[in-house]
Amino acid sequence: MRVPTGIPGLDELIEGGIEEGTTNLITGKTGTCKSIFCMQFLYNGIMKHRQKGLYITTEETATNIKRQAARFGWDFETLEKKGWLIILEFQPFDVQTLTTKMVEAVNKIDAKRIVIDSVSMLELYIHDTFEIRKGLFKVVQKIRDMGKVGLFTSEVQEESNNLSRFGLIEFMVDGVIVLQYMGLAKYKRSLMVRKMRMTNHSSNIHPFEIGNDGMRVLPIRGG
């Protein structure tokens, strides 16, 4: 079964949505709309598909997440009160408890869509790469076993061409979507599906824009 992202223009590039039981990395430099992507994914899940959501934030406060969401008319405050959404602030120091906390929250509301924004923070705080790998692998496995859909974000540095900070996470996930910002181009923002297992996906670079109601991927000729 596929889970539509609900992001206009995106689902038709990935055979209708993201496969259940998979985890997917949304990667890009700062300000490329990784967090907005995740918020929109959860919001659409709740409003259009009756799938509850969990947003684990390691960088920003829950308050800031709600404020950004509110700019697009996504009332996260109310969704939380209704028990359709949980926003969980997670201290990135100990990756061992990440799985436990995630599963606890998922079970509490029976969430289908899980966001971890971002995993770069884990990579930054925990210097033992074996520990991170083990921890993240557990999370990936758990999401698969539970049949949920996971989105991780990863922030890459300005001058970098990597898909994540330390090049760990992109090998564990089933899908990678790269977001870009090119200040001088006609279309400033673009999206590319770098990999998505079990999916015949577009390999083009697709422009997208941010409107009053979130992201919208624009059509390209032959895309």
Ligand X SMILES: Nc1ncnc2c1ncn2[C@@H]1O[C@H](COP(=O)(O)OP(=O)(O)O)[C@@H](O)[C@H]1O
Distance in Å, CB of 147 to Mg ion, minimum: 27
Q: Contact 152/26 with Cβ under 8 angstroms?
A: yes
Give whichever of 2 and 216 is closer to ligand X, judged by the CB atom: 216
- Closest CB to ligand X among 67 and 81? 67
Tokens 């090998």, residue?
171
Dihedral angle, C-alpha 68, 180, 1, 152, nearest 10 °: -60
The nearer residue to ligand X, 88 or 109, going by C-beta atoms, is 88
The count of chain residues that interact with ligand X, using the rule CB under 6 A, is 10
Phi and psi for 56 in degrees, rounded to 5?
Answer: -95, 115
Query: Which token pair is 189?
Result: 């923002």
**DSSP secondary structure letter of residue 156:** P
Q: Is 10 in the site for ligand X (CB under 6 A)?
A: no
Reference 32, options 182, 175, 194; nearest CA is 182
Contact flag: residue 73 with ligand X (CB under 6 A): no
With respect to ligand X, which residue has the nearer C-beta, 120 or 199? 120
Q: Please report how close the Cβ of residue 106 comes to Mg ion at its closest, in angstroms.
A: 22
Q: Does 32 bind ligand X (CB under 6 A)?
A: yes
Is the peptide bond prior to 203 cis by the omega test (within 30 degrees of 0)? no
Binding ligand X (rule: CB under 6 A), the pick from 71, 81, 108, 134 is 71
Task: Indicate which single residue of 31, 73, 83, 147 sits in contact with ligand X (rule: CB under 6 A).
Answer: 31
Binding mask 34-63 for ligand X (x = CB under 6 A): xxx---------------------------
Residues written for the chain:
223
**For Mg ion, which is the closer residue by CB, 100 or 162?**
162
- How far apart (Å, rounded) are the C-alpha atoms in residues 9 and 118? 24
Where along the sequence are the contacts to Mg ion (CB under 5 A)? 34-35
Which positions from 99 through 138 interact with ligand X, judged by CB under 6 A?
A: none
6 phi-psi bin (left φ>0, alpha ψ -120 to 50, beta other): left
Closest CA to 208 of 5, 4, 7, 1: 7
Residues that bind ligand X (CB under 6 A): 28, 30-36, 71, 210
